[in-house]
Structure 1
Amino acid sequence: MQDAAVLKGTNDGYEIILDDEADLGDIYTSLRSLLEKLRTQTASTHPQPISFDIQTGLRLLSAGNRSEIEKIFSDFQLFSVHKITSDVMTKEESNRILDQETVHVVDRIIRNGQEVHVQGDVVFLGIIHEGGKLFVGGNIYVLGDVHGVIQAGFPDLEDKMIIGDVHNAQQVRIGEQYEILDDTNQKITENSVVYVNDLHVLDYGKVEDLKQINPKFFNQIGGVING
């Protein structure tokens, strides 16, 4: 099946599109034939190494399928696979994205030496003891008691926030920015917003000023703040 693998030029180089309805055997045969033709066409010039993106459409290739494609390319010295992509995703990737978009309610005790990691936004109702750590991929809404380390935007997202009372925390972190807190820190109240400002420095504000601090987030929650 000659057209089960089709070459397409892009702004970034070359892409090979595999027919997602074709038999895999036909795809392998067509791919090899295509590479043979390209090798013949470039033989009379000054051939340079070419790296191809492989697009599989609505077919998700297994590790074995990918290995077979890599094996075919290994027979062509100047040709290689840059990446293999599809228009579908694995169950694991789908679950990861859903996790990131979900608001999780965490009501537990995090003791000294314990680390808890959560994707997405978190409403925290529990207790973090000194030495305990909560690392969250999204924003954190603190309604519990924090005496340990708390981080939003884990590991390196600086557009996330910690909202609520963290004045007893040992350390607050947003992405890679952090500050060790002590009793002299008067900037934090029970309605604080911890965020990274335009200078990429950890800063503190009040919930009622959230519209000025992060207009995008303010609009996402409906533009209403209940004090």
Structure 2
Amino acid sequence: MPDAAVLKGTKDGYEIVVDENANVADVFASLRKLLNSLKTQTASTHPQTISFDVYTGMRLWSANDRSKIEKLFADYSDFSVHKITSDVITKEQSNQMLEQLSVHVVDKIIRNGQEERIQGDVLFLGKVHEGGKLLVSGNIYVLGDVKGIIQAGTPDFEDKMIIGDVHNAQQVRIGEQFEILDDTKREMNSGTVIYVNDLHVLDYGNVEDLKQINPKFFNQIGGVING
């Protein structure tokens, strides 16, 4: 019967591959056997702690079982777990990914002191009052009225954009970059693109130049811009 846990070398270090079809007891017995063997082999050749990635294939281990794996490794002072990965995700993670990929149409009023946080891209049709905040993890397409603070790429994604007229905004942010618009008096229109340039500062362009501004996004939307 093959071992339920096998050591493999990768370009990034060491990986322990767990048989996704083996029962839990066999996996833990195989892990302990493997670690005992490695402890004997590496006692004099690796004075520092060796960190392993544990890969579980198409099997998603529970938080309790993952904790047991880490506790097993804790019995060996020379070894540690770097991360435990699989090819499957939880329902919660799946929902989060779908939310990130979707475009949310938001038509609401965000008043002074209020903060609206949204995952994914947003088509904004509402109004952000002065002192209100619209914080989005993806891109923002503005067709509404923004007089408060607007941020794309929350908290630190600098590859996102704000498209539209936000000249009345108090502040625009993309990732960790920001600009107070009260001090700039910039001219904008519905085709204005706000983005982070190669120097990691906010820059302004036109939607007609989107291919140069963000080639990846331009290709995602089919490479066509209708002016």
TM-score of the pair, normalised by structure 2: 0.91
SS of residue matched to 2:93: helix
Instruction: Please name the residue that 2:158 is paired with.
Output: 158
Question: Is the alpha carbon distance of 1:11 and 1:217 closer, same or farther for their aligned partners in structure 2, counting shifts above 3 Å?
Answer: closer
Question: Is the alpha carbon distance of 1:42 and 1:212 closer, same or farther for their aligned partners in structure 2, counting shifts above 3 Å?
Answer: closer
* Aligned ranges 1:131-210 → 2 under 5 Å: 131-182=131-182, 185-210=185-210
The one-letter amino acid paired with 2:164 is: G
Instruction: Please name the residue that 2:102 is paired with.
Output: 102
The one-letter amino acid paired with 2:94 is: S
Gaps of 5+ in 1: none
TM-superposed deviation, 1:183: 7.9
Mapped partners of 2:96, 2:114: distance in 1: 23
How many equivalent pairs are there? Answer: 226
TM-superposed deviation, 1:157: 1.5
The one-letter amino acid paired with 1:135 is: L
* Aligned ranges 1:25-104 → 2 under 5 Å: 25-43=25-43, 45-48=44-47, 49-104=49-104
Q: Is the 8 A contact 2:59 2:86 kept in 1?
A: yes
Can you list the C-alpha shifts for 1:180-205, whole angstroms capped at 9, x where unaligned?
Answer: 11286133233311112222221222
Question: Is the alpha carbon distance of 1:73 and 1:143 closer, same or farther for their aligned partners in structure 2, counting shifts above 3 Å?
Answer: same
Mapped partners of 1:223, 1:10: distance in 2: 38
Question: Is the alpha carbon distance of 1:68 and 1:108 closer, same or farther for their aligned partners in structure 2, counting shifts above 3 Å?
Answer: same
Question: Is the alpha carbon distance of 1:148 and 1:16 closer, same or farther for their aligned partners in structure 2, counting shifts above 3 Å?
Answer: same
Mapped partners of 2:73, 2:126: distance in 1: 54
SS of residue matched to 1:150: strand
The one-letter amino acid paired with 1:10 is: T
Can you list the C-alpha shifts for 1:161-196, whole angstroms capped at 9, x where unaligned?
Answer: 111111111111111111111286133233311112
Mapped partners of 1:224, 1:105: distance in 2: 22
Mapped partners of 1:82, 1:212: distance in 2: 39
Kindly report the root-mean-square deviation, in angstroms, between the aligned alpha carbons of the 2 structures: 1.8
Moved more, 65-74 or 147-156: 65-74
TM-superposed deviation, 1:220: 2.1
Mapped partners of 1:157, 1:51: distance in 2: 29
Can you list the C-alpha shifts for 1:203-227, whole angstroms capped at 9, x where unaligned?
Answer: 2222233333223322322233333
* Aligned ranges 1:116-135 → 2 under 5 Å: 116-135=116-135
TM-score of the pair, normalised by structure 1: 0.91
Q: Is the 8 A contact 2:115 2:134 kept in 1?
A: yes
Q: Is the 8 A contact 1:188 1:204 kept in 2?
A: no
TM-superposed deviation, 1:11: 2.2
TM-superposed deviation, 1:104: 0.8
Mapped partners of 1:184, 1:51: distance in 2: 51
Mapped partners of 1:186, 1:13: distance in 2: 51
Q: Is the 8 A contact 2:100 2:121 kept in 1?
A: yes
SS of residue matched to 2:69: helix
Q: Is the 8 A contact 1:2 1:33 kept in 2?
A: no
Question: Is the alpha carbon distance of 1:2 and 1:39 closer, same or farther for their aligned partners in structure 2, counting shifts above 3 Å?
Answer: farther
Question: Is the alpha carbon distance of 1:42 and 1:175 closer, same or farther for their aligned partners in structure 2, counting shifts above 3 Å?
Answer: closer
